[in-house]
Amino acid sequence: MKEYLKHDEWSIIEEGFKPEYNRISESVFSIGNGHMGMRANFEEQYSGDSLQGSYLAGVYYPDKTRVGWWKNGYPEYFAKVINAPNWIGINIEIAGESLDLAHCEVLDFRRELNMKEGYLERSFTARLKSGKEVAVNAKRFVSLPAKDIGAIRYAIKPLNFSDSIEFTPYLDGDVHNEDSNYDEQFWDEISREIPTEDEGYLVSKTKKTGFVVCTGMKFSLTQGGRTVQLNPIPSEKKQYVSHTFTVDCKEGEETVLFKFGCNVTSRDYPEAELTDICKKLLNTYAEKGFGVLLHEQSRAWGMKWATSDIIIKGDVAAQQGIRFNIFQLNQTYTGEDERLNIGPKGFTGEKYGGVTYWDTEAYCLPFYLATHEPHVAKQLVVYRYKHLQKAIENAEKLGFKNGAALYPMVTINGEECHNEWEITFEEIHRNGAIAFAIFDYIRYTGDHEYMVEYGLEVLIAISRFWAQRVNFSEAKQQYVMLGVTGPNEYENNINNNWYTSTLACWTMKYTIESLGYVKSKNEDKYDDLIAKVNFNFEEETTKWLDILEKMYLGEDSKKGIFLQQDNFYDKELIPAAELPAEETPIHEHWSWDRILRSCYIKQADVLQGIYLFEDQFDKETIERNFDFYEPLTVHESSLSPCVHSILAASIGRREKAYEMYVRTSRLDLDDYNNDTDDGLHITSMAGTWMSVIKGFGGMRVQNGEAYFEPFVPGNWEALAFKVYFRGHLLSVMATKEKVAISNQSEEPIRLHLFGARHKIEPNGVVEVDAK
């Protein structure tokens, strides 16, 4: 754990240059706008330790799979959203000496990620070997309102000399991924162009996938607020264009280079027009100027915060932590493009390849449902609808038939990319999360039409999969599900994982209900769908009902505990608290063999199921299972504590809920797991958000109405949050004494607060005593 970042309510601040933490800071200070994003690499040359990373959403490369023993059904590749051409570079040379923080004395270094307005700022004083000192202030952002555009204001001031300074703004397409499986270069150059004295363009194409990207730059320079006429020397080589110019700089006077970047891709625009479009956009936005763009940026972020902010009073570290999580979630996904999804590391690193996991449905969807208009979350569910055909093909590869779908564990275009057999073939619970997301989306938004248009087709295909994945055990006279891996990846190839089987049954039941619903709402659509997917209602639903009736779900009925899997009780059950500190995290210290045989649970498994279907269990059942599983859970996935936190809150264990919350709320800011250098845990940030809203806020949705049971945990003085719910913006405010909910919309709403139903008029408030 590292605690080198300053606590502040709205900003992330690093003071003092710590090259040994540079990769961590590069992740933490990342910026993004849903379309593109980048690590906090320096603009000027840096020869110290750094992970260069600039990413364009959806622009990926199919990196050839590396495995020891090939198994049928494995994917050929792992899709990676790759490091894209670098547009931020500005090299600086002072009297023949490069400004490189690895080779000079760095004083007054400060980095700030301003989350309120959405920009990154870095300032420092550098004392070069020659003794010359310069003060630099660099501010940059990628624009939220203009998704293709980024802007930099790079100011430099000589402190103890007057001399000429050489500037080289450049574009560099010769970039690679550190995690490339075969050290391949992923980009080919198509063309490069330096059409004017202040512009440059690179057109690059990804190998194999053929995405074409035009990256452009345009710059200007001012001194004393006045634009300086430059005489740049253009330079170009393969995958690189630059302009170099020298400017006389006076001691104590600031010279400011404005550099605008633009990335347009063939995903969004016709390939043949990319350069023209890039030029047009770049010139339009450069014309507006840095100040105006920053103002628009700040306004756009203001609108994001207006519906997604959480206020915590009395604990600045917690306030900063939750805002950081919300900020990163909003930087990663905006819901404007149905082809995009949420990579577990967003735009902040290479790990997990920027591609889609079950994390989206299980953890992220609730955030976007509650903080944005419904179309944003809808894009996430439609994304899976669009991949249905691929999920059917994926299941076919594994031997399933008749339109059964197995969604991939990891994907960018619907095809499976994951190649560890115990996960690829066995961690099939992801299929259930995708079915559950349909339910969750409709439950929250009330958009029942979604079921008619998209949902049912997906549900049928997933139910078909479950019906074929189980088998009837003669010995048990019940259906069983063999050879699975639950969310707890510290056990593989187990039988009858309670979570997976429960989810499978729920999906079949929900599909049968939904068939009835669609038929009653729109018989024509229903008939069309039945014909389209060749659904044999009688035969298939009879089978599903039989499975529902005879499914084996492991349970210790005496103790009232659901069994994670058949042999869980055979394990030596020693609480995780007794693990010697030097042996944790166990995945770093134990052999895999030892982990697999141990009772230690990587992440919520049975409890994940209880969390999803909470309303089906009474408080005592939740308590018993919580008390059994929580002590055995090591939470070595950052997706775990949030689920425990929510359940703890729901059974009144407020301290436990808070303890679990604290484990992830500042996971990346304090580098708890020693892995922030790889990138941020974006999907776990959504889990942290859920702990506040569903845990401390006690928010649930049932029968079209919202329920709240808020409390203020720990040493916090007050908690306030906003949620969108069915066209209403609700503002929930809680102190240790009072709880108030206001309806900031034009229609009245009926909602439940501590079990009592209230009608709140437009702009009205209901206030009650805290509990």
Structure-block tokens of residue 26:
């590069």
Q: Which is nearer to ligand BGC, 216 or 349 (CB)?
A: 349
**Cis omega (within 30 of 0) for bond into 169:** no
Residue 758 corresponds to which amino acid? H
Compute how many other C-beta atoms are within 10 angstroms of the C-beta atom of residue 618. Answer: 10
Instruction: Name the residue with tokens 């079950």.
Output: 358
Angle at 685 between CA 609 and CA 27, to 5 degrees: 140
> Do the strands 119-127 and 105-114 form a parallel or antiparallel pair, or are they unpaired?
antiparallel
At closest approach, how far in Å is the CB of 18 from ligand BGC? 27
Binding piece for ligand BGC, criterion CB under 6 A, among 4-12, 141-149, 352-360, 376-384 = 352-360
Q: To the nearest whole angstrom, how small is the minimum distance from the Cβ of residue 684 to ligand BGC?
A: 7
Nearest residue relative to ligand BGC (C-beta): 344
By CB under 6 A, name the one of 344, 354, 687, 695 that touches ligand BGC.
Answer: 344
CB of 612 to ligand BGC, least distance (A): 14
Residue 620: C-alpha distances to residues 397, 458, 631 (Å): 43, 35, 17
Q: Which one, 683 or 743, has the nearer CB to ligand BGC? A: 683
**Which positions from 583 to 602 touch ligand BGC by CB under 6 A, shown as an x/- string?**
-------------------x
Cβ 599 to ligand BGC, closest distance in Å?
17
**d(C-alpha 379, C-alpha 174), whole Å:** 34
Retrieve residue 731's tokens.
Answer: 């503002």
In the bound state with ligand BGC, the residue whose beta carbon lies nearer, of 342 and 452, is 342
Adjacent-strand bridge partners of 381: none
Least Å from the CB of residue 416 to ligand BGC? 14
Q: Amino acid identity of 322?
A: I
Three-state secondary structure of 564-604 = CCCCHHHCCCCCHHHCCHHHCCHHHHCCHHHHHHCCCECCC
If one asks whether residue 603 binds ligand BGC (CB under 6 A), the answer comes out as: yes
Beta-bridge partner residues of 110: 15, 123
Q: Out of 74, 87, 358, 544, which residue is the one contacting ligand BGC (CB under 6 A)? A: 358
Return d(Cα 86, Cα 66) in angstroms, integer. Answer: 28
Give every CB contact of residue 169 below 8 A, 6+ residues apart in sequence.
Answer: 89, 90, 200, 217, 219, 242, 243, 257, 259
Residues whose CB is less than 8 angstroms from the CB of residue 616 and which lie 6 or more positions away in sequence, other chains included: none
Could you say which of 172, 198, 350, 489 contacts ligand BGC (CB under 6 A)? Answer: 489
- Looking at the Cβ atoms of 379 and 683, the one nearer to ligand BGC is 683
Window of 351-359, 461-469, 724-732, 751-759 that interacts with ligand BGC by CB under 6 A: 351-359
Residue 333 touching ligand BGC (CB under 6 A): no
Q: Which is nearer to ligand BGC, 198 or 359 (CB)?
A: 359
- In the complex, what is the shortest distance from the CB of residue 40 to ligand BGC, in angstroms, rounded to a whole number? 22
How many positions of this chain bind ligand BGC (CB under 6 A)? 12
How far, rounded to the nearest angstrom, does the alpha carbon of residue 475 sit from its chain's CA centroid?
Answer: 44
Q: At what angle do helices 641-650 and 619-629 cross, to 10 degrees?
A: 140
**Nearest-approach distance from CB 213 to ligand BGC, in angstroms:** 27
Tell how strand 226-227 and strand 163-172 pair up. Answer: unpaired
Question: Residue 753's Cα: distance from chain center in Å?
Answer: 31
What is the rounded CA–CA span in Å between residue 278 and residue 171? 14
Work out how close the CB of 280 gets to ligand BGC at its nearest, in angstroms, rounded to a whole number. 39
Least distance from C-beta 355 to ligand BGC, angstroms? Answer: 10
The least distance separating ligand BGC from the CB of residue 405, rounded to whole angstroms, comes to 19
Residue closer to ligand BGC, measured from CB, 344 or 455:
344
DSSP symbols for 512-552: HHHHHHHHHH-HHHHHHHHHHTT--HHHHHHHHHHHHHHB-
Please tell me whether residue 328 binds ligand BGC under the rule CB under 6 A: no
> Amino acid identity, residue 751?
L
Question: Among residues 540 and 605, whose Cβ is nearest to ligand BGC?
Answer: 605
- The least distance separating ligand BGC from the CB of residue 417, rounded to whole angstroms, comes to 12
- Residue 133 or 361 having the CB closest to ligand BGC: 361
User: Is 434:359 a contact under the CB 8 Å cutoff?
Assistant: no
Comparing CB distances to ligand BGC, the nearer of 147 and 635 is 635
Stretch that binds ligand BGC, among 90-98, 145-153, 357-365, 643-651 (CB under 6 A): 357-365
- Shortest Cβ 2–ligand BGC spacing (Å): 21
Going residue by residue from 235 to 274, which x/- string records binding to ligand BGC, judged by CB under 6 A? ----------------------------------------
CA 513 to chain CA centroid, nearest Å: 32
Question: How many Å apart are CA 354 and CA 345, to the nearest integer?
Answer: 6
From the candidates 112, 457, 489, 491, give the one annotated as an active-site residue: 489
Note whether 671 binds ligand BGC by CB under 6 A: no
Rounded least distance, CB 358 to ligand BGC, Å: 6
Nearest-Å Rg of the Cα atoms of the chain is 27
Q: Is 68 in contact with 95 (CB distance < 8 Å)? A: no
Selected binder of ligand BGC within 42, 87, 305, 357 (CB under 6 A): 357
Residues 619-648 vs ligand BGC: string with x where CB under 6 A? ------------------x-x---------
When asked if residue 683 is in the footprint of ligand BGC (CB under 6 A), the reply is yes
Q: Where do the DSSP E strands lie in 281-422?
A: 310-313
Among 21, 201, 260, 352, binds ligand BGC (CB under 6 A): 352
Interaction residues for ligand BGC, span 278-297 (CB under 6 A): none
Nearer to ligand BGC, 80 or 192 (CB): 80
Q: Which of 690, 654, 684 is nearest to 672 (CA)?
A: 684
Q: How far apart are CA 645 and CA 641, in angstroms?
A: 6
- Between CA 632 and CA 636, with CA 633 as vertex, the angle to 5 degrees is 145
Residue 42's nearest CA partner among 133, 109, 127 is 109
Cα distance between residue 676 and residue 680, in whole Å: 6
* SS3 state of residue 674: coil
Distance separating alpha carbons of residues 732 and 199, to the nearest angstrom: 50
* Cα 294 to Cα 151: distance, rounded to the nearest angstrom: 9
Among 133, 350, 359, 671, binds ligand BGC (CB under 6 A): 359
Which of the stretches 350-358, 499-507, 593-601, 717-725 binds ligand BGC when contact is defined by CB under 6 A?
350-358
Nearer to ligand BGC, 217 or 682 (CB): 682
**Of 352 and 725, which CB lies nearer to ligand BGC in the complex structure?**
352
Distances (CA, A) of 206 to 61, 98, 355, 415: 7, 32, 17, 19
Q: Is residue 105 among the annotated active site residues? A: no
Q: For ligand BGC, which is the closer residue by CB, 309 or 489? A: 489
Binding site for ligand BGC (CB under 6 A): 344, 352, 357-359, 487, 489, 602-603, 637, 639, 683
Annotated active-site positions, please?
489
